[in-house]
Amino acid sequence: MVLCVPAELQAKSRNCILLKFIGEKVDILLNKQQFLQMKQDRQKIAMVTSYDYPSAKMAEAAGVDMILVGDSLGMTVLGYDSTIPVTIEDMIHHGKAVHRGAGNTFKVVDMPFMSYHISTAETLSNARRLYQETGAQALKLEGSGDVSRAMAKLVQAGIPVVGHIGLTPQSVNVLGGYKVQGKDKETAARLLEEALEIEEAGAMMLVLECVPRQLASFITEQLSIPTIGIGAGADCDGQVLVYHDILNYGVGRLPKFVKKYTDGNQILGDGITRYVQDVKSGEFPEEKHTFTMNLSGLPKE
């Protein structure tokens, strides 16, 4: 249930505070200022990916602060080998589904590969579609340099952005694979410079992926905006993990930085296996699963 809010709040942007009930618990759709306050108060931010209606609904009910509609859906949902084949249309399709399942949770949607590199006009056009059509509260872009300048353009246009540095999956072929970034003095200094540049561009938050804990901690201390870690240690302002990794659902070998909270492969696999066995043996459907009628109602031959 969504509470009635004053007209002056309703007139504000999608990033205003909305209240909802889950049982007796009141949750808040947080905004940029509240995430900044959480950093200052050292309250950890919990973020998880979602790609469809049921996963989004489950994430919202669990009380996550933020949902990321990540282009990782290319691998977890669409079966690609990387995020590179993911398109704007893919992100819009899945973003809409997530919004329907978690309308009261702050949602960040990834801009996919090459959707913000070709020209300012194309970047703005793609961002407008993602922001308007998915119900997102922010968009996430990977990288720095020209990407930071693209972020600044989006912020000027009124679209909140989240940065992403370290291991950037869209650049995995340039980086030489899925490797920890920033382990030496030179690359650590470069990542710090990128982080400061992204903050200067107006990003509301920064994802740090696969960087040493010590470096992530240092960057977090240097920034006024929150950092969200994935494989970046416990000192970031928040954490994000992939929904399927947390549940060990449809995935193989998990990365080192993932904690498995249940075994979805085993639980769901067992359920489907039992169904197949019951159909083959004739144990399903039972009488209680069956509709009946009076035999007199059957057509005559």
pLDDT at 174 over 70: no
Least confident stretch, 106-120, 128-142, 150-164, 242-256: 242-256
**pLDDT confidence bin for 55, thresholds 50/70/90:** very high
pLDDT tens by residue, 5-34 = 334 333 333 444 344 434 434 355 789 999
For residue 220 the two structure tokens come to 């977090």
Residue 71 in marked binding region = yes
The per-residue pLDDT for range 72-107, each reduced to its tens digit, is 999 999 999 999 999 999 999 999 999 999 999 999
Global confidence as pTM: 0.88
What is the rounded distance in angstroms from the CA atom of residue 94 to the CA atom of residue 75? 13
Q: Would you say residue 295 has pLDDT above 90? A: no
Q: 110 a known binding residue?
A: yes
Residue 72 marked in a binding site: yes
What pLDDT is attached to residue 252? 86
pLDDT at 201 over 50: yes
What pLDDT is recorded for position 169?
85
Q: Residue 186 catalytic? A: no
Select from 9, 13, 3, 2 the least CA-distant residue to 137. Answer: 13
CATH topology of domain 29-246: TIM Barrel (3.20.20)
The annotation status of 140 as a binding-site residue, yes or no, is: yes
| Closest CA relative to residue 59, chosen from 17, 6, 93, 102 | 102
| Mean pLDDT value across residues 242-257 | 94
Residue spans of the domains in the chain: they are 29-246
Res. 112: pLDDT tops 80:
yes
Q: Does residue 4 surpass a pLDDT of 60?
A: no
Q: Which entry of 122, 209, 221, 287 is annotated as an active-site residue?
A: 209
Going by pLDDT thresholds of 50, 70 and 90, the confidence category of residue 176 is: low
**CA 127, 78, 247 angle in degrees (round to 5)?**
100
Residue matched to tokens 């505070």: 17
228 and 205 Cβ atoms separated by less than 8 Å: yes
Could you tell me the two tokens for 213?
A: 């804990």
Distance of CA 68 to the CA centre of its chain: 1
